[in-house]
Amino acid sequence: MAESRGQWSGKLGFILAATGSAIGLGNLWKFPYITHENNGGAFVLVYIGMVLLVGVPIMVAEILVGRRTQLSPVGAFSHLSQGKPGGKAWSSVGFLGVLAGFTILSYYSVVAGWTIHYTYLSFSGELSHLASDAHALQTYFGGEFLTNGQQQVMYHLMFMGLTTGAVYFGVQKGIERVAKILLPLLLLILLVLLVYSSTTSGFGEALRFLFVPDFSTLTTGSVLEALGHAFFTLSLGMGAMLTYGSYISKDVSIPRAAFQISLLDTLIALIACVIMFSIINSSDIEVSKSSTILFTTIPTVFAQLPASGFFNAIFYLLIGFAALTSTISLLEVVSSYAIDELSWSRPRASLTMGAVIASFGVLNALSLGGNATLSSINLVGRESTAGVFGTMDYLASNWFLPVGGFMIALFVGWVLGARDTLDELQKGHGDFSWFKLWRVLIKFVAPLAVGAIIVSVILGREYQ
């Protein structure tokens, strides 16, 4: 069976693909703006704590379930739950993952599509005329672009096409190959931009903002937001890591891999912050809205710096590359369900699922102002949940991922036996001396922490 499902060529292939899944818009778009909103330093520290205490243990759990069963989420849970408390009902966790993959991809690829437009604008020199953040927000981002339904749909479909192409070619020839090319390129671009940002006058202030904590600015909301984001950025709670884990061989150490992936993901998020805040601080431009920094403030400041067209362009290429390796993993979760459970061939699964999600995503693309009815839908009535787009993001970030992560932690911590989990974790690793600590984290700390997110969402708070 392994042959028809596919397998990574080796450990490096898996690490690169999984890191590619983790690094995405979450790192380059969302983390910088929530760090900005939550006043830097202390929030960054809490976030790192959440990654270590909750993120890494759950990632270990997901990869473990995938490799143990060599199946994607639905099959994996239904296989491992046989004869256990709860029985087949656990396969609903897998279904929730497929639903989350579908939902997230349908709006994520809309934002990912913007990077194509912005790369084009950078190369054509159009962004060099931006005069202020408000000008960028009005002219390029809000006014002419977001509400232009045709453009939104076109870029979204282009991105879905690229994603589907990679998944179509399979684990090694598609997903792994794309990650092996794009991830090193992404690191290179990031390094060039980091060196560039270190020469700007705002570099020192950016480092202080990020790494000197002021705990008086920290709220319970920031702590839960840090945790919610750790989930999203590490691609946890919906079986993406589980699915990728089902393609690794028994000689890979799961704990080591999970740690390396999380470390790389965190490093990239921090470097992205250093770059962006240095650039912003080096000018006196006011940030008018945190969540649009990436598409308004950054190009505006670039416009005042030398060689702006080039740096702008590689910056948006970087974001596009990062987003693509993430969208691939989202589509792979949905496609692998059809391959494993419905016995579809990979071409059929990837093309069908890609087309269905792309079609549904059109509703998201049109709900940013392009179509009045789609833009007016709002489940929870907040500004950030407006439109089909806001609704999908709300459902995925607030419900699907936390509930999925909670159930995965419960399943691995309480339903799977300690002997089975230890046996799997020792394969490719040898003596796993952190096993007891990991068990405590997965049995108690992770469910309690993620449970707190769910309770606070029920009480009316939101995590975007």
Binding footprint of ligand PFF on the chain (CB under 6 A): 21-22, 24-27, 104, 232-233, 235, 238, 240, 326, 329-330
Residue written as token pair 């002021």: 214
CB of 240 or CB of 392, closer to ligand PFF: 240
- The residue with its CB nearest to ligand PFF is 26
The least CB distance from residue 408 to ligand PFF, in Å, is: 12
Burial 246-256 (b: 16+ CB within 10 A, else e): bbbbeebbbbe
Query: Please, which residues have CB within 8 angstroms of residue 355's CB and are 6 or more apart in sequence?
Result: 164
CB of 235 or CB of 456, closer to ligand PFF: 235
CB of 127 or CB of 275, closer to ligand PFF: 275
CB of 22 or CB of 80, closer to ligand PFF: 22
Look at the chain and count its residues: 464
Q: Alpha-carbon Rg of the chain, whole angstroms?
A: 21
CB 353 within 8 A of CB 338: yes
Planar angle of CA 413, 27, 391, nearest 5 degrees? 80
CB of 25 or CB of 63, closer to ligand PFF: 25
CB 97 within 8 A of CB 238: yes
Neighbours of 237 (CB within 10 A): 29
- Torsion sign, CA atoms 317, 322, 328, 330: negative
Spatial distance between the Cα atoms of 459 and 178, rounded to a whole number of angstroms: 42
The least CB distance from residue 310 to ligand PFF, in Å, is: 25
CB of 104 or CB of 167, closer to ligand PFF: 104
The least CB distance from residue 201 to ligand PFF, in Å, is: 30
The least CB distance from residue 283 to ligand PFF, in Å, is: 27
The least CB distance from residue 24 to ligand PFF, in Å, is: 2
The least CB distance from residue 75 to ligand PFF, in Å, is: 17
CB of 17 or CB of 303, closer to ligand PFF: 17
Give burial (CB, 10 Å; 0-12/13-18/19+) of 383. Answer: exposed
The least CB distance from residue 334 to ligand PFF, in Å, is: 10
The least CB distance from residue 22 to ligand PFF, in Å, is: 5
What would the DSSP string read from start to end of 226-278? HHHHHHHHTT-SSSHHHHHHTT--TTS-HHHHHHHHHHHHHHHHHHHHHHHHH
CB of 133 or CB of 265, closer to ligand PFF: 265
